[in-house]
Structure 1
Amino acid sequence: MTQHRKILIFSLALICCLIWTTPASAADPGKPYHFGFKKSRDGKLPSIAQEGFMGVLQKNEAVFLGNTNRKELYLTFDNGYENGYTAKILDVLRDHKVPAVFFVTGHFVKDQPDLLKRMAKEGHLIGNHSWSHPDLSQVNETRIKEELEKVRLEVTPLTGQQQMKFLRPPRGIFSDRMLRVSHQLGYTSVFWSIAYKDWDIKHQKGAAFAYQNVMNQLHPGAVILLHSVSSDNAQALGTIIEDARKKGYVFKRLDQLQSKTYR
């Protein structure tokens, strides 16, 4: 075998080795991931260990779970548009003295400025859900920044909230690049450890359905995702809060989450 051929074979082997050993997030920072998790059942903690993106979330300091040694809960709502139930949800939160974070889109900001003002006045956080709800894993860095900055610039004069700290990627789709760019802008990306199919307004199943779906997944350190368009959520929220408290849980604002647990 000639020396030239030996060098060629060695070079090809080295390239193959690098391809197989380089983490996906490093090789392709634009690779999209759809957030998913193993649900909590019978007190067992939820997990993202089998989903293949734990390292990407850790690297970019994203949140999906709080301190699992404390019976603390974090309520989060996605507000893409208004369906007539957000005021009711705010009434329940006010009456039960429970804080939440509302992730809003540009459509909601322009359409519901009074609700935004009320959220801030009553002590809730306003989070960024992007201006036009695109798949942020599929757009360039400039577009990511524009999507987030538009929301911030519109929300600030309405609420006085100078710095938006939290981001929920639309539809739970993300990439290493998307998380990195938003983190550089000062955002913590927030996913969830309790959720159910509540966003389909044509298939609402009643308060008992919402109640069971949330309570069956309850666990310490839970970040709960609810959609404010759901009539089921609006009806069940008060009972969920009351019965969670009976089990010893405390509701806290997301900016009080002190530790990030990955499982």
Structure 2
Amino acid sequence: MRKIIVSIIVFLAFFGSYMTIEASSGFGWGYKKNSDHQIPEVGKYQEMLEKFGAYYADFSGEKNIYLTFDNGYEQGYTADILNVLKKEDVPATFFVTGHYVKSEPELVKRMAEEGHIIGNHSYHHPDFSVMTMDAMKEELETLEAAVAKVSNQKELKYLRPPRGIFNEQTLKWSNDLGYIHVFWSIAFADWNVDKQKGWKYAYDQIMAQIHPGAIVLLHTVSSDNAESLQKLITELKKQGYSFKSLDDLVLKDKLPEGIYGF
């Protein structure tokens, strides 16, 4: 019973506000989903992202996919997800919190050892838009130090803001601190552990939204995601998609031959 109560408290703390549209003094990341396999438009957010070098998709037109996972706490599925990624030689980025690093150091170590990128999701999962720059800096640096302590990844350069909340100020601050904001172009309600609907639901949600250059947000607490991942990767490879890392995207974006993304 105690374990169940703790899981509920952690769930509410980390994922309770993900669907917020406007929050605090910031914006909640969002867009209109489409089913025409195109990058969704993000309206007024696009100019802000361009200005500060943030990403939510790869605009090169190439059939690339970037898998990202948010890790606030562990439900027992991350190892299964890592097994599939290893088998299929697919890179991913895991955005972790301080709670996750503290409770699951061996999984964080394994992520890095198997070639995945560990991203910064903050230490305590706060709303950056109501914080000072110094407080935001402490959140990011504390998480980075925690990751460095348990893994061979000593620096973190990609940031996913807690609850997807951001504004122009937090985008600028992250740049000043050496971070690149990474949002997403595909997501669905996968984080509620009490409302999992089976692997086909996760599979269908992603396949309906898939598009060239997708940055996909998934949560490792989802049994649906863990069970569908192998099928998703297999089918998307058949359709000609390649799985890339965020490093590939950012490096490509800097090449002189053309502009990719922002």
Do these two structures clear the TM 0.5 threshold for a shared fold by scoring above it?
A: yes
SS in 2 for 1:101: strand
Instruction: Work out the CA distance in 2 between the residues paired with 1:153 and 1:190.
Output: 20
Match of 2:53 among 43, 46, 61: 61
Contact 1:40–1:219 at 8 Å: present in 2 too? no
Q: 2:226 aligns with which of 221, 234, 239?
A: 234
1:192 equivalent in alignment to 2:184:
yes
TM-score, normalised by the number of residues in structure 1: 0.85
Q: Deviations over 1:16-43 (max 9, x none)?
A: xxxxxxxxxxxxxx94111111223122
What's the C-alpha RMSD, in Å, of the aligned pairs? 1.3
Count of residue pairs brought into register by the alignment = 231
- Partner SS state of residue 84, structure 1: coil
For residues 216-240 of structure 1, give each alpha carbon's deviation from its aligned partner in whole angstroms, at most 9, with x where no partner exists.
1110000000000000000000000
Equivalence for 2:19? none
**For 2:246, which of 244, 248, 254 is the aligned residue?**
254
Q: TM-score if structure 2 supplies the norm length?
A: 0.85
1:143 partner SS: helix
Aligned match of 1:97 in 89, 94, 97? Answer: 89
CA distance in 2, matches of 1:89, 1:107: 19
Larger Rg over CA atoms = 1
C-alpha separation in 2, matches of 1:224 and 1:67:
14
**Structure 2, gaps ≥5 residues long:** 1-23, 254-259
Partner SS for 1:132: coil
Is the contact made by 2:38 and 2:212 (CA closer than 8 Å) also made in structure 1? no
| Aligned match of 1:202 | 194
- 1:171 to partner: Cα distance: 0.7
Contact 1:32-1:174 within 8 A present in 2 as well: yes
Pairing 1:171–2:163 present: yes
1:224 aligns with 2:178: no
Structure 1 CA distance for aligned equivalents of residues 173 and 38 of structure 2: 34
Match of 2:105 in 1: 113
1:68 Cα deviation after fit: 4.2
Q: Give aligned-pair identity as a percent.
A: 49
* 1:80-114 CA-partner distances (Å, limit 9, x unpaired): 11111100100110111100000000000000000
